[in-house]
Homo-oligomer: A and B are copies of this chain.
Amino acid sequence: MNKHITLLAGASSLFLIPSLAFAAPAKSNDEVIAGLRDNALQADNIAYDIVEGLTTEIGPRQGGTAAEARARIWAVAKLKALGFENVRVEEYQMPTWVRGTETAEITAPFTQKMVVAALGNSASTGDAGIDAEIVYFPIIDDLRTAPDGSLKGKIAFVSHNMKATQDGSSYGAFGPARFVGPNIAAKKGAAAIVIRSTGTDYHRNPHTGNTNFEPGVAPIPAGALSIPDAENLERMIARGKPVRMKLKLTPQNVGMQTSGNVLAEVKGSNPDLPIIVIACHLDSWDLGTGAIDDAAGCGIIGAAAKHLKSMGQPKRTVRLLWAGAEEVGIWGGRDYGEKHTSEPHAFAMESDFGAGKVWAIDFNLSDSASALRTQIISALAPLGVVPRKDAAGGGADVGAIIAAQKLGIIDLQQDGTKYFDLHHTPDDTLDKIEKAELRQNVAAWVATLAYIANYEGELKPEPAQ
């Protein structure tokens, strides 16, 4: 529990006798919330414990797999132990793809192995692999403009060089090499595609992630090279001779499997007020242990909701959604949206961008809530959080319920400068978590939640422009 708050409460009760010369007033709501915030910033261990537990006792937990099922059992036990109410699993079925063997080797004009990982939904090369000439596209747009059929029997190589940005916007700009590059290459007849990993590090750890093929387009083998390997391949290509690669990727589609969301609640005192949903995702990619993506998010929202309870019962119910199968297609978020579409929600938040400090806050709240907005901005200012004019968007797992019910949203934007060094790589492990930064997230979240969960006015989004 909250040692700092306990001390303050003890101290202030001493001073509440009005006849004392130095009597202090009862603590205001703002002061109580500031206390919750500062306590989390100084001393929260709940978030770290959740990340430590998931990464140590479960590790990788890809959507639809047995490891994700173990993670649900773990999550239910942890959320119950933290004292949340209505802890439960909501299952659903989903098609599941799993990684096989993966090797890549340059066979001409030099001989050298490279480090590769299949992208989610990649086809298999078969055990024999594919030995084919590389066709080089420095950026994704070069692939888009390649003539149809020009890639027949070749391996396309797209080296789309992403750089780090604080707000993560480079993912949207450079991610299409992964998101749609394989589909484009397949339509142009390529035998396979390899991309420079969508990432910003220099380690021999490829960045996996889903890719998608349009209906009617037969999937091709699709892999991500580690960034040092992609740059090595570029240097080989620059020498001017044809470069050949032997590529072996043997993933499989294993059919419909069970996945599920884990839900838990802090029950509100007024059942007439629509609820607040806060989300992270429980699944992770299979290469790392899913520390920053997204055990951190589950740690942050779990810790913030736990600290919120120490203030007493909030007016609105706060529901935690530890979503399943986000990485492989947002199956959990969609299932939540469908199953809860007729249950009144007011507001949504999500934490799914690592464990870097919250540096900005974005809102999607109508003007009727402007006083609330000002309170939250003031409460987050000591944490160095900048209010911006960007409209909050929520996140993948709250996307379906937001779309269904037009919810108010706040985004606590995390610093993503280092996020894409680790995203979807084997390197996403516990040691990458900075405790002080994780605590700052919990502090920002508990203060925000404390205002929102006790606000009885409307939490509508801004009217559509």
Please tell me if A335 contacts chain B, counting CB pairs below 8 Å: no
Pick the contact of A70: B57, B59, B111, B204 (CB < 8 A).
B111
Please tell me if A112 contacts chain B, counting CB pairs below 8 Å: yes
Asked whether B231 lies within 8 Å of A430 as measured between CB atoms, the reply is yes
A70 CA to B112 CA, complexed, in Å: 12
25 A-B interface contacts by CB (under 8 A): A55-B232, A56-B110, A56-B232, A56-B239, A58-B112, A59-B110, A59-B111, A59-B232, A60-B113, A67-B111, A70-B111, A115-B426, A202-B427, A202-B431, A203-B203, A203-B205, A203-B427, A204-B288, A204-B427, A227-B431, A228-B427, A228-B429, A228-B430, A232-B289, A232-B430
Please tell me if A80 contacts chain B, counting CB pairs below 8 Å: no
Please tell me if A432 contacts chain B, counting CB pairs below 8 Å: yes
Interface set, chain A 89-116, CB cutoff 8 A to B: 110-113, 115
Q: Of all chain B residues, which has the CB nearest A52?
A: B235
Chain A interface residue count, CB cutoff 8 Å, equals: 34
Pick the contact of A432: B202, B236, B426, B427 (CB < 8 A).
B202
A60 CA to B114 CA, complexed, in Å: 11
Pick the contact of A426: B60, B204, B235, B236 (CB < 8 A).
B204
Asked whether A110 lies within 8 Å of B57 as measured between CB atoms, the reply is yes
Extra inter-chain contacts (15) besides given A59-B111, A204-B288, CB under 8 Å: A57-B110, A57-B236, A57-B239, A58-B110, A59-B112, A59-B232, A60-B113, A67-B111, A204-B427, A204-B429, A227-B431, A228-B427, A228-B430, A228-B431, A231-B431
Interface set, chain A 180-233, CB cutoff 8 A to B: 202-205, 227-228, 231-232
A205 CA to B427 CA, complexed, in Å: 9
A236 to chain B, nearest CB (A): 6
A205 CA to B229 CA, complexed, in Å: 14
**Mask for A41-77, Cβ within 8 A of B = 1, else 0?**
0000000000010011111100000010010000000
A56 CA to B229 CA, complexed, in Å: 10
A231 CA to B232 CA, complexed, in Å: 31
Q: Of all chain B residues, which has the CB nearest A429?
A: B228
- Which 4 pairs from chain A and chain B are nearest by CB? A59-B112, A204-B426, A228-B429, A56-B235
Q: Which residues of B contact A67 (CB under 8 A)?
A: 111
A82 to chain B, nearest CB (A): 19
Asked whether B231 lies within 8 Å of A112 as measured between CB atoms, the reply is no
Q: Of all chain B residues, which has the CB nearest A226?
A: B426
- Residue of A70, A111, A231 with most partner-chain B CB within 10 A: A111
A378 to chain B, nearest CB (A): 38
A228 CA to B60 CA, complexed, in Å: 14
Q: Which residues of B contact A236 (CB under 8 A)?
A: 56-57
Q: Which residues of B contact A52 (CB under 8 A)?
A: 235
Q: Which residues of B contact A111 (CB under 8 A)?
A: 59, 67, 70
- Residue of A55, A70, A115, A426 with most partner-chain B CB within 10 A: A426
